[in-house]
Amino acid sequence: MKKNLKNLLIVTLLPLLSMTFISCEDHTFREGKIFAGGQYVEAKDLNKGKMIYMDYCMACHGVNGDGKGVSAKGMAVPPRDFTQGIYKFGNVLSGELLHDDDIERIIKHGLKGTAMLPWDMSKRQIYMVWNYIKTFSPDTWVGKEKKLGDKILPSKDPFGLAHKSSAIEKGKEVYHIVAQCQTCHRGYATKHELSEMNKKVNGEPLDASEFDNEMYQVKLQESEYNVKTLPPDFTWHHVRTGDSVEELYIRISAGVGGTAMPSWKDTISDEEIWAVAHYVNSLISLKDTPARAILMQKLKNQ
């Protein structure tokens, strides 16, 4: 009697247990999708990508990918809203669709100064979760007619280590006079230096009335993200991406998508972009050093 009852329970419960385990698998996607660049992604990979997203990304970026996760409240830098389909740090011209390896780089290395930390994911995991993230903005990503941007690759550095000091000097001139980066970021040269640089570049010194009162301040900028963005003070803030002169060259060339930082490619010369990259890298190296304190005191007296 007991044996029969045991067998009956097994026969009754096994289908229920099987249904329980099956229901744990996600079947949101029943068919694959074709994304920008003609990339076809199978439904099973999208479903696995969703599971990875729920484990790793949902707390900050939200269930719906809108950047409104429970951990997002109080963050100084809001998590990315994936439903907008806009991305800052692709190695393509600002406004163009980035490549998968751009996202792989961001996931692997994180974004300094934000809650986006480096994640120890495999290439396969990144592939699945990133393609799931694309489904939050189908108008941007879904469709074989959607095109990826042209990759920006660094040209040969015309300065190199041998001419680093001259690159920094030229970059300082381009930063302040040619590109006028202090319009959004801040200035790092005294008014006398600025006047002399303008004389060298444009043939005449600057008049006192030509100096911006906010020249030594970073200024909040409008963006396409429904929040204002603060350009970095390179001697103080973390630069989100750009640990080398080469990476800074790419970022200056590409711009920062959805922000006031435009692409400088074809606006200033390639040599000037390299020079600014060397100069900005020299500013970054001043962080937490006595040399920065000396520079800030000199500028404070302007």
Compute the distance between CA of residue 103 and CA of residue 202 in angstroms, rounded to an integer: 41
**Domain 161-300, CATH class in plain words:** mainly alpha
Please, are residues 245 and 281 in contact by the beta-carbon 8 Å criterion?
yes
Tell me how crowded residue 143 is: count the other CB atoms within 10 A of its CB. 14
Q: What string of pLDDT tens digits covers the 302 residues of the chain?
A: 444 444 434 434 434 444 444 444 567 999 999 999 999 999 999 999 999 999 999 999 999 999 999 999 889 899 999 999 999 999 999 999 999 999 999 999 999 999 999 999 999 999 999 999 999 999 999 999 999 999 999 999 999 888 999 999 999 999 999 999 999 999 999 999 999 999 999 999 998 888 988 999 999 999 999 999 999 999 999 999 888 999 999 999 999 999 999 999 999 999 999 999 999 999 999 999 999 999 999 999 88
Question: Where does the chain hold its CATH 1.10.760.10 domain(s)?
Answer: 33-141
**Could you tell me the two tokens for 301?**
């007296």
pLDDT at 1: 46
Residue type at 57 in one-letter notation: C
Compute the distance between CA of residue 173 and CA of residue 200 in angstroms, rounded to an integer: 9
Q: Which residues contact 107 (CB under 8 A, 6 or more apart)?
A: 118, 119, 121, 126, 130
pLDDT at 8: 39
Fold (topology level) of 33-141: Cytochrome Bc1 Complex; Chain D, domain 2 (1.10.760)
Please, are residues 136 and 263 in contact by the beta-carbon 8 Å criterion?
no
- pTM, to two decimals: 0.88
Compute the distance between CA of residue 30 and CA of residue 32 in angstroms, rounded to an integer: 7
pLDDT at 210: 86
